[in-house]
Amino acid sequence: MSELADMETTEHTEWKYYLWECRNTHPTMKPLGRKQRDGCGHWNLRKTKKIIGDEKAQSKCNECGRRKRLSPQNTYLKLFLDKPYAEKEQGRLNGGA
């Protein structure tokens, strides 16, 4: 098997951890005609084997329950390959130690 094929299979079998911030990035959009809520600013952790951006992903904020479609175009994402580092950064961004 070639190195490229090895990389492609590895990308979809290893866990990736994404940090994303709950905030309103499209203030003019009105979901089903309702007023859109502002995000709470909480940083959330999403674990997936998929590559966000190549594949569609949606996540729910653990703090306020707001749903967000995740993509690099509409959300600032931080990628981590190790869970302890992702959790440490999430705690720091949310005002923890």
**SS3 assignment, position 86:** helix
pLDDT at 82 over 90: yes
**Strand runs labelled E in the chain:** 16-21, 43-48, 57-60, 67-70, 77-80
Query: Into how many domains does the chain fold?
Result: 1
Q: How far is CA 32 from the centre of its chain?
A: 23
Pairing of strands 57-60, 43-48: unpaired
Question: Is residue 32 a part of any domain in this protein?
Answer: no
Confidence of residue 52 (pLDDT cuts 50, 70, 90): confident
Question: Is residue 49 a part of any domain in this protein?
Answer: yes
CA geometry: angle at 13 spanning 6 and 70, to 5°? 115
pLDDT at 88 over 90: yes
Question: Is residue 63 a part of any domain in this protein?
Answer: yes
Confidence of residue 47 (pLDDT cuts 50, 70, 90): very high
Burial profile 30-57: b = 16 or more Cβ within 10 angstroms, e = fewer: eeeeeeeeebeebbbbbeeeeebeeeeb
Q: What is the mean pLDDT of the chain?
A: 80
pLDDT digits (tens, 9 = 90+) for 2-40: 454 454 555 556 899 999 998 877 766 666 766 767 788
Question: Is residue 84 a part of any domain in this protein?
Answer: yes
Comparing 70 with 85, the larger pLDDT belongs to 85
Nearest alpha-carbon partner for 20 in 67, 55, 54: 67
Question: Is residue 1 a part of any domain in this protein?
Answer: no
pTM for the full predicted model: 0.73
What is the domain range of residue 76? Answer: 10-24+38-93
